[in-house]
Structure 1
Amino acid sequence: MSAPVILTKGSPTVSLAKHGAASGLIRVNLNWASPKTAAERRATEATGFFGRMKASLRAGAAKEVDLDLGCMILLADGGKTVVQALGNSFGSVHGYPYVALDADDRTGASAGGENLVINLDHQAEFKKLLLFVYIYGGSGDFRGLDAVTSLVSDRGDRFEVHLDDSPPGARGCAIALIKRQRGELVVEREVRWFTPQQGVSVHEAISRAYRLGMSWTPGRK
């Protein structure tokens, strides 16, 4: 596998077609380190009685954080939908909307993280795919979570977006926008942060910011 292409502020855009990812499946992976999981790992690695005791106390006080990966989809025919764990909207790879979420990692402990799969064989039906992440459960924000989103094609090409500059209080992030441009799909790094506002959910705030025109109701998972 070749070295990953890291999308940065200075170089935020990449063409999937120019990297040979014009068909097949592309996997979008979200991986992060939960503060509690990291503290528990340090506790198992601590040495000495007092070192283990301090590490265990820190692990006990650390908070779990549940990040959820999602995709807001605007289709070429004007249809719109969202794929996410909230509301059990896991989607489908081989049927509408040709985007699916494989699982819900609630702790950040899973080595595989959370994965969205996009079927590029149906890319002509896509207008915009907005990849986003939000904190479903747990206190705090994104700081210290070391969250990374990777897009990996069937042939092994890898594109990465690092979520490493979160402001205090952010509970959601628009990661990247995949859109049709001159007949091909391009990925554009966004890393645009959102904090809760009275009466407006993070989902709605993201949708409004990108003029996706979606309606939102409270959901559970």
Structure 2
Amino acid sequence: MAFWDNLWPRRAQFESSNALTSSIVLTKRQHTVSLGKQGALSGNLRVNLSWQMRTSDIRGRSRQGGRLLRPMEFFKPEPVQAHTQGMVNVDLDLGCMYELKDGTRGVVQPLGNLLGDLNSPPYIRLSGDDRFGAPSGETLYVNIDQREQFKRLLFFVYIYDQTPAFDRTHAKVTLYPGNGPSIEIELDEHAPEARSCAVFTMENVKDDLIVRREVKFVYGFQSELDRMYGYGMQWGRGYKSKT
């Protein structure tokens, strides 16, 4: 009885957490949300990519026997940052393909130093390139005050020039509007050989911005995502600076 007496109060506390009520989680069943209905059509939208690994992905199940001696430990994941010693090299990058109302198409991404601009076209800006999965992650900013300029946006994540490890990388993209709740999308599908993932789209529909969860993995890179969504751009081999 002592075990369950300790467990149930923790579960009740977890269910009443403000973190659950202050965010919207997009899933396969509930895959769209209107920023207009959330009162989030002003200011800058912050789109953040973060990821972590679990020690079980690195060291196997060698510690599970010890967990049986401490039952409560069984319910606790063991997250470690992606730069932890002994971890395979994983460098996740966040990018955005865009099509503006005037027909302009392009991409904002670390490759090629295509960082964009927040106050002039494309009104999207990449801040930093996190190569280690730090808690801050990578962030794209979108100037929602210029939403009338947008036709459609595709936000994607890809693994840069390293071992495909989406199946071991617990990645999440979170949208933080200037107003309203945050929006979370987890890259929770199993695609061990994939190198890229279309995470979500954002489309201008009658001056509203509709966010749609995609989470579609592909085994190629940006050009394959482009073909899937019909942006029609020309792609070449790109590199990131070493600094």
* Divergent runs of 4+, >3 A: none
User: Equivalent residue of 1:33, what SS?
Assistant: strand
Q: Which residue of the partner structure matches residue 165 of structure 2?
A: 141
SS of 1:17's partner is: coil
What runs of 5+ residues in structure 2 fail to find an aligned partner?
1-17, 60-83
1:107 and 1:63, CA in 2 relative to 1: closer, same or farther beyond 3 A?
same
Tell me the SS of whatever aligns to 1:64: coil
The reply to whether residue 97 of structure 1 matches residue 116 of structure 2 is: no
Range 145-154 or range 176-185, more displaced: 176-185
1:9 aligns with 2:34: no
Alignment of 1:1-221 (within 5 A): 2-34=21-53, 60-108=85-133, 110-196=134-220, 202-221=221-240
SS in 1 for 2:224: helix
Q: Any unmatched runs of 5+ in structure 1?
A: 41-58, 197-201
Matched residue of 1:214: which SS?
coil
Amino acid at match of 2:99: L
Q: What is the deviation of 1:60?
A: 4.9
- Out of 186-195 and 140-149, give the one that drifted further: 140-149
Alignment partners' CA distance in 2, 1:112 and 1:60 = 19
The TM-score, its normalising length taken from structure 2, stands at: 0.76
Q: Alpha-carbon deviations, 1:150-173, whole Å to 9, x = none? A: 000113520010001132201100
Instruction: Tell me the amino acid that sits aligned with residue 177 of structure 1.
Output: T
Contact 1:179 1:186 in 2 (8 A): yes
Deviation of the 1:137 alpha carbon: 3.2
Letter in 1 for 2:156: F
Q: Deviations over 1:122-173 (max 9, x none)?
A: 0000001100000003213201211000000113520010001132201100
In the alignment, the residues of structure 1 paired with residue 162 and residue 224 of structure 2 have an alpha-carbon distance, to the nearest angstrom, of 20
Deviations 1:13-58 (A, max 9, x none): 000010011111010000001579x969xxxxxxxxxxxxxxxxxx
Query: In the TM superposition, what is the alpha-carbon distance from 1:185 to its structure 2 partner?
Result: 0.6
Partner of 1:199: none
Code of the residue aligned with 2:109 in structure 1: it is Q
